[in-house]
Amino acid sequence: MILGVVQGVAEFLPISSSGHLSLLQYFFRLEEPDALYNILLHFATLVAVCVVYRRDIADMIVEFFRMLASFFTTTGRRGAGNPPEARRMILLLIVGTLPLFLVLPFDDAVEGLGANPVFVSAMLLVTGCILFLSDRYGGGRKNGRTATVKDVALVGLAQGLATIPGLSRSGTTISAGMALGFERSFAVRFSFLLSLPAVLGATLLKVVKVAQAGEFDAELLPMYLTGMVIAGVVGYFSISLVKLLADKGRFGSFAYYCWIVGLVSLIAGLILPMLTPAA
C-alpha cells in the first residue's frame, strides 16, 4: 500500500518516483517489490493518464485511422498540408519517444545507480534546480499546432536523461517544454502523453522478462490489485494537481520539497555508513 501511494504520487508530481522508491527501500529497509508488482504499479499509473487524457487519446486513435485512409483517397492527400492537431500530435509523440532508444543500451547501468542513496539524493537536488528555473524562465505560446519537430526531440532527450534515478521524468520534460516556449498547459499535456509509449514499452519488456523467469505467484494477487488501485487513484489526483499548479505558474513550488528531501537524504546517506559497525 505504501509503495502504491508513493508510485501514484511521485510518478506524476515532479519529485522522481524512482528516486523516492530507492530512498524508501534504503533508509526504511522496505522489502523491494517483486518485478511483476513493480510492473503492475507502473501500468496502473499509465491507466490514470489514459483516463485523464481520454479525449486526446481517442482523437489521436481516430486520426490515426483517418490518416491511413487518406493515403488511398485524393481528397486526403490534398488536405495533408494542414493536418488536424490530433494527427500532428501523433507525429510529435513518435519523434519525442525516439531518443529513448539511445538509452536502452545503458538501461542496466542506469538502473544500478538507484542503489546509491548519495547519488539519488544529489539528483533530487538537481531536479529541484530544474523546477525552480522552470517558473522563472519557462512558458510561451507554442501548442500542438505550432511546436516543431526540433522542440519535441529536445523534450524527448530530456525524457531519456530523466531515466537517471532521482531526476523527475515529469519535472524534466515539463520544464524542458516550458523552456522551449510551450504553453504551460500544453507542456503538461505533452509530457504526460509522452509517458504513455515510454511506460508501455518498458512494461512490455519487463513482462517478457517476468514471463520467462516464471515469477508469478497467484497468492499475491490481492496485494497486486490493492497496490494497483491505490496507485491509479492517487495518480489520477496527482495529475490534476500538477495541471492546476502549472496553470497558476506554481510548478516550481515542488523545488523546495526536492531540495529538502535531497539534502536530508544526502546527509543521512553520508553519515549512516560511518555509524554502522563493520561486519
For residue 222, what pLDDT is reported?
A: 87
For residue 121, what pLDDT is reported?
A: 95
For residue 32, what pLDDT is reported?
A: 62
Q: Which of 100, 77, 122, 62 is nearest to 194 (CA)?
A: 100
Dig out the grid coordinates for 202 from the structure: 518498458
Query: For the chain, how are helix, strand and coil distributed in percent, rounded to 5?
Result: 80, 0, 20
Residue 118 pLDDT exceeds 70: yes
216 compared with 37, residue with greater pLDDT: 37
58-111 per-position pLDDT tens digit: 999 999 998 888 877 765 555 556 788 999 999 999 999 999 999 888 888 888
Give the total residue count for the chain: 279
Angle in degrees, CA 88, 93, 148, rounded to 5: 60
Average the pLDDT over each of 10-14, 27-31, 234-238, 273-277 and give the range with the smallest value. Answer: 273-277
Mean of the per-residue pLDDT values for the chain?
Answer: 87
14-66 per-position pLDDT tens digit: 999 888 888 888 888 776 666 678 778 888 999 999 999 999 999 999 999 98
Distance of CA 101 to the CA centre of its chain: 16
pTM more than 0.75? yes
Burial class (CB in 10 A: 0-12, 13-18, 19+), 83: middle
152-205 per-position pLDDT tens digit: 999 999 999 999 999 999 999 999 999 999 999 999 999 999 999 988 887 787
pLDDT bin (cut points 50, 70, 90) of residue 2 is confident
For residue 137, what pLDDT is reported?
A: 77
Extract long-range pairs of 206-214: CB within 8 Å, 24+ residues apart: 206/35, 206/38, 206/39, 207/39, 209/35, 210/35, 210/36, 210/39, 213/35
244-262 per-position pLDDT tens digit: 988 888 888 899 999 999 9
For residue 13, what pLDDT is reported?
A: 92
* DSSP for 84-132, written as a single string: -HHHHHHHHHHHHHGGGGGTGGGHHHHHHGGG-HHHHHHHHHHHHHHHH
CA distance 24 to 79: 53
For residue 216, what pLDDT is reported?
A: 64
